[in-house]
Every structure is written in structure tokens, then in C-alpha cells.
Amino acid sequence: MDSNKAKNLEQILESSIKDPKDLTRYLYYRKKLKEEGLSDFISILPLGAAINWARANSVWPLTFGIACCAIEMMAVGASKFDLDRFGSGVFRATPRQTDLMIVAGTVTYKLAPRIKKLYEQMPSPKYVIAMGACASSGGPYTQLGYQVIKGVDKIIPVDVYIPGCPPRPEALIDAVLLLQDKISKTIPQQEAI
Amino acid sequence: MNYELISSKLNEKFSTNQNQLNTSTAGDPYFLINKEQLLPICQYLKENEELWFNFLKLITAVDQGDKFSSVYHLYSYKYEFGITLKVDLEKTNPVVDSLCGLYKAANWLERECYDLMGIIYKGHPDLRRILLPLDWQGYPLRKDYVAPTEYNGIDNT
Amino acid sequence: MQTDSLHTEELLVNMGPQHPSTHGVLRLVVKTDGESVQETLPLIGFLHRSFEKIAETLTYKQVVPYTDRLDYLSSMNNSLAYCLAIEKLANLEVPERASILRVITAELNRIASHLLAFGSYALDLGAYTPFLYSFRERELILSIFEKISGGRLLYHYNRIGGVARDINIDIISEIGQFIDIMRKKLNEYNELVTENLIFIKRTANIGLISMSDAINYGVTGPCLRASGLKYDLRKVHPYSLYEKFNFDVPIGQGLKGQIGDCFDRYWVRLKEIEESLKIVEQALDLLREGEIRTKISANLKLPAGEVYVPCENPRGELGFYIISDGKPNALRVKVRAPSFCNLSILDPTCRNTLFADVVSIVGSIDIVLGEVDR
């Protein structure tokens, strides 16, 4: 299973290099490192993959707890279910310094313009996790709440949805890991390089 | 301190046939009072030495189908006793005096009743919506309310 | 305003619905003159989820999980208040074992809620370690709750007529171990935070609330007790067999400053954790064999009438006012939320203080926006 996954990863990295001269150079250096026995200490990657690796392992979230799911988000930041070991431990208060917005709680009409404004203030590339049943689709208040928006994806685009009311802290960690997978598979924008 | 004492004191100070103690239904008894006499009765209940109802717990707005009611729960810390006062209002013109001069807790509680039911409190210093957005149409807790499917461009079906 | 030849103007600062303290979506518009605060305007309603309209539409049994989500930090106490109100109107008798189980879970939830209030208050003032310590103890309580009811934060454990599940000897021994651990950790918290000079300077003599002001504004709970009034609903109007327990009611004594300041409110909560531990110990001794729930009919109909039942929540007096007209769903359900009235005292308390004290006062009043907005 592991060797299959490693071969798969190598194929993905090879296919992401477009220029044939760059490809031969990459394969030559990779073979050289393996021969010298240094591939445990030095890794050679195409530039896009290196940027993705840096971005995926340091996703900084925005403190945006609205309701009950916010308490589980705080529990994930505390010491039993530590989120810091995945690189996401630094919860910033200002959207200008974050990559990730975890919408934890019910979204109402009164709060909607603020969410949109905060999302637009975050710099690209930015990601959104809809945590809990209320943020995914309205939750228990879907049919009868007159001020509740049925899911935060009516206002901003969402990358990962987490079901649960409230979801366990392990579910939030799973969502962050899924997001890291998603980030490492994207092709970084040409302007960003 | 019990209901008979309060009832007798109210009847000797204010007119007898308008302030009845209702014990016919299950649960707690309540005083049904006239809406013109609300402010003098509350002032008497708060300042009388043997009653001393100095804590306003709750103001509720009720839609009973054919009329509205404004319900007040008062409590006395000294005698550890609580009572309920109920004022009936007509549906077309729900106006009643505000208790903001006596209890400062009434400020936010009355704003909430105005916001959700539409009862107007005369004499309130700042009567505007508190829980819903300021440009919301309608009063949600009325029985004939229909929830909107769209607000300010956000479609919510 | 002009001081000598210096002209100043008022500044409106917006502490918006998203801000780094953990009290939720509260918006404060603060009018300041330099650094001193002239007026504070709290704007709420960002979490208004229409609980009262839902409670009029669904049947009585279906509303119980929604009461958990009002004050999401003390969900055992919320559902206890609602179930007591319905049982009073329907004249239902709750078995003794169920009442003792309700007391145990309610007091453990009070400890968890006060621990979170303690941790987040210290976090607001700039100290990160007490937050991690209090969450470590809170996880012990949450693992007990997970074994009892299946949930970590929202339990749906109290049902109409009793409780949902029984507890066994493993859970009882785990609760006993937790009581011993918590008693030792309280000494640690006192050393770390209560005796800390920086904490004392930021909380003593700040945010004074006098007893008459507190009663007039409708403040209840630890904030009222910190202002000097010795009143606790569990002692004065006991519910759910609280009259069988022996505990004290701590009031503010002005240890480091004046009576009714932020330090007193914090100190009252810490003392209440000790008292709750005593209650849980006595409750475990009183537990006897028995039923855990009385049978109720599938579609429960209450007689026409109304009832108001108050309970002592960790934040104050939570009351449910239920009016019924004989149908399977209520005519009107109104929640008397403690944080709603506690928040209304913010504006007069913050007059003429420094801006940084606003954070300290908001943290010490300990509000939860789920019940302010309902």
C-alpha cells in the first residue's frame, strides 16, 4: 500500500513538470540522491510541489466561532486534541494574516454581510471549512428558523463540510487533513510563483 | 406573604372589580389587571414596605389568537415571593405604558417584546429592534406570520 | 472638549461581531474620548435562531434537544429547567434516583462551565496557560459525560419524567477520581491566577456593580452574589431534591478591592466550583436503586394553564414560562435568559473606565450569546 502510494506520488510529481529538459534534470538528480543514500535527508521537488508542501503544512485559521461548534474548535486548539502539531495552531484574530476560515456555528441574516466582508478581506489562496450541521445546511433550524441561512455556502464558497451537532474534535482534525490533501494536489497560480 | 394578602392590599388601594386573581387554570395563578392601572399598581407594589417587589424578572408578549397580552413577572427578595401580572391588549392597537422609570431591566425586555410581537410601549426612551436586523419587515411571533424566502439578496429556499 | 489649548474629539470604535475573545458574536460600539470610555452600546441578535417560534410549532418532547442549544455551555441545566416546568404543569412525579442523577450531572456541568469561564477570562487578559489547564480538567468531565449520555457538549440527557440512561459503577468511580483531582488542581489555579499581581491589578476595583443597581437591572447569579446579596435558588426555592444537600453560598467580600468588582465575580465562580464538588460527593452517597424515568404518553398533552419555573444556571436564573391551551404543542414558550439581563448592565458599568477595562468587565460578567439571542 505504501509503496503504491509512493509510486503514485512520484508519477504525479513527474507529470507536473512540463518542460522535457527540466524533467530529465529532475530525474537525474533524484536518481543521484538515491545512489548516494541521501534521499532520507534531502528531497528534490518541482517548484509547484514545494510551494504546495509549504502551504499545506502551515494553514493558519481565523478565530470565527459563532455558536456551540466554537467550543469544540477551542477544544481542538487546547492540549488534548492538539491542532498545533498539524501546523494550524496559530489562530489569528485578523483575516489579513490567515488562510483558513472555519465557520463554526449557525449563520443568520444579520451576520451574513460580515462573513462576506471577512472572506473578501482574506488574501488568496484562501479556504473555508463549514463546521457542523448548521454551517453546512442550516442544521436543526432549517425548517422553522426564520433568520437562519440554510448553509454558509449560500454566501461564500466552501471547501470541506463537517457533519455533526457538534462534530467531535477528531472530525475537525480529519477535515483539516483533508484540506491539506486538497492543497497539495492543486496547481499553484503562475503569478504566485 | 401569600396571594390573599396581595389581593386584599391591591383591592383596598385600587378599585375592586378590575383586579381579579385568576386561579381557574392549572399551574400558577395570575392577576389580570387593567392596562390604565399598570403603572400605579407596579409603583405601589415596588414601594410598599410590606410587599417590596423590587425585581422585575420577565416581560412576555403573548398572541392569544384574538388578543395580545403583556405579562409581567415580579419578585420580592425580602419576602421571597413572586407574582404574575397580565394585561390584555387589543390586536389592532397594542399600546401599553412602559415600566422603564421603575425598573431599568424593563428597557431591554420591552424592546424584545416590541421586536418580536409588535407591542408598543409608551414612554420607552429607545424603542427599536434589538434581535432582528433593523430593516426587518413584520413581527415573527405573531400567529399569522409568514417567514420570508429572501432577504437583501440572499436566497434562502 | 478642550483641555488648555488641546482640542479632542470623540471616537467611535467598533469591537465587531468577530473578535478574539471567546464570548461569541457580540458587537460593541464604544464611544471614547481618548482612552476613557464615555458610552458602550452592545448590539446583539447575530445568533437569533428563533427558539421560541420553534417551541410553539413542535410538540413538548421534540423541543427538549433545542433547549440544550440555548446556553451551550450548561446544557444539562437548561434541559433540567424545561423538564421541571413541564412536569410541574402536568403534575408528574419524578423518581428519586432520576432526581439525584439530575443533580449530579447539573453540578458537574456547572463545574465545566465555570472552568471555561475561568480559562477564557484569563485568556482575554493575556494569560494563555490557565486556558490550557482549565481545558485539561474540562476534558475529564466531558469524558464522564460521554460515558453517561453519548455526547461531549450537547447531551439530550434530561427527558420529561426523568433521565435517559442509568449510570454504573465504572462511571461512579470515575466521578470519585475526578473530585480528588479537581480539589488538588484548585490550589494550582489559586497560585497561578488568584494570587497573581498582574491579574489583581487588572481586575480589582474595576467594574463596580452595587447591589441596588444589580437588582434594578435584573442581574442574577454569580454577578449578583459578588455584589453582596446571599441568594441562591437552590437554597431558597429548592428543586429536584436540592434541599437534601449541605453546601454554602459564596458571596463577594472585596478581598482585593471593593465588593462587586471584577475580581469578586471571578472569585465567587472559583468558590462555587468547590461547593459543587461537595454536592456531587454527597449525591453519590445518596444514590439508591430505583427507576430512572416515569412513563408518559406518546403524545403528551398538558392541561390549560401557565407555569414559570426558575432554575439556578451557572450564569444566573434561567426560567421557562410555558402557556398551554390543551394542545400537544405549547401556545407560548418564553425563556428568561440570565445573560440577556446581565448584559444590559454593561453600559453603566463601563462609564469613565479605560478602554482595556471593557474587555475585563465583559469577561467577568460571563455571557453566552446562545442565550442572549436565543
- Compute the average pLDDT of residues A160-187: 89
Q: Does one domain contain both A47 and A111?
A: no
Provide the residue range defining the domain that includes A14.
2-56
- What total number of domains does chain B contain? 1
Residue in the structure block whose three cell numbers are 399598581? B41
Q: Is the pLDDT of residue A191 over 50?
A: no
Q: Is the pLDDT of residue A1 over 50?
A: no
A and C: number of Cβ contacts within 8 A: 96
Domain contains B152: no
Domain contains B77: yes
Which DSSP letter does residue C125 get? T
ipTM of the complex: 0.92
Q: What's the pLDDT at C3?
A: 58
Provide the residue range defining the domain that includes B85.
3-147
- Nearest-CB residue to C218 (from B55, B133, B141): B55
Q: Is the pLDDT of residue C38 over 80?
A: yes
B73 near C CB under 8 A: yes
Q: Which residue of A has its CA nearest to C372?
A: A67
Q: Does one domain contain both A92 and A158?
A: yes
> What is the tens place of the pLDDT at every residue in C193-230?
998 899 999 998 888 999 999 999 999 999 999 999 99
> What is the tens place of the pLDDT at every residue in B101-128?
889 999 999 999 999 999 999 889 988 8
Domain contains C169: yes
Dig out the grid coordinates for C142 from the structure.
466531558
Q: Does one domain contain both A51 and A122?
A: no
Domain contains A17: yes
Put simply, the answer to whether B132 touches A154 (Cβ < 8 Å) is no
- Nearest-CB residue to B133 (from A109, A150, A154): A109
- Enumerate residues 99 to 158 of chain A having a beta carbon within 8 A of any beta carbon in chain C: 105-106, 108, 110-111, 114, 118, 140-141, 144-148
Buried b (16+ CB within 10 A) or exposed e, C193-212: bbebeebbebbbebbbbebe
Q: Which residue of A has its CA nearest to C129?
A: A78
Dig out the grid coordinates for B51 from the structure.
410587599
- What total number of domains does chain A contain? 2
Q: Give the torsion sign (CA, B55, B58, B61, B63).
A: negative
Q: What's the pLDDT at C2?
A: 54
Residues 6+ apart with CB under 8 A from C324: C89, C302, C303, C304, C305, C306, C330, C331
Q: Does one domain contain both A14 and A104?
A: no
How far is the C-alpha of B56 from the C-alpha of B34, rounded, in Å?
A: 19
- What total number of domains does chain C contain? 1
Interfacial residues of C (vs A; Cβ cutoff 8 Å): 16-20, 22, 24-25, 45-50, 53-54, 57-58, 65-66, 69, 72-73, 116, 131-132, 135-136, 138-139, 142, 152-154, 369-370
Tell me, what CATH number does B52's domain have? 3.30.460.80
Q: What's the pLDDT at A63?
A: 77
Q: Is the pLDDT of residue A147 over 80?
A: yes
> Cα–Cα distances in Å, from C200 out to B102, C190, C245, C350?
36, 12, 33, 18
Dig out the grid coordinates for C162 from the structure.
426523568
Provide the residue range defining the domain that includes C74.
50-306
- Compute the average pLDDT of residues B13-26: 67
Domain contains B157: no
- Compute the average pLDDT of residues C11-33: 84
Which DSSP letter does residue A45 get? -
> What is the tens place of the pLDDT at every residue in B53-74?
989 999 999 998 888 989 999 9
Q: Does one domain contain both A74 and A105?
A: yes
Domain contains A24: yes
Q: How confident is the model at residue A103 (pLDDT cuts 50, 70, 90)?
A: very high
Domain contains A170: yes
Domain contains C198: yes
Contact C261, C208 (CB under 8 A): yes
Q: Does one domain contain both A50 and A76?
A: no
Q: How confident is the model at residue A5 (pLDDT cuts 50, 70, 90)?
A: low
Q: How confident is the model at residue B16 (pLDDT cuts 50, 70, 90)?
A: low
Domain contains B48: yes
Domain contains A191: no
- Nearest-CB residue to C340 (from B80, B82, B108): B108
Buried b (16+ CB within 10 A) or exposed e, C78-88: bbbbbbbbbbb
> What is the tens place of the pLDDT at every residue in C331-347?
999 999 999 999 999 98
Q: Does one domain contain both A44 and A137?
A: no
Domain contains A34: yes
Domain contains C327: no
Q: Does one domain contain both A91 and A162?
A: yes
Three-state SS string over B37-75 comes to HHHHHHHHHHHCCCCCCCEEEEEEEEECCCCEEEEEEEE
B and C: number of Cβ contacts within 8 A: 95
Q: Does one domain contain both A126 and A33?
A: no
Domain contains A111: yes
- Nearest-CB residue to A155 (from B147, B148, B154): B154
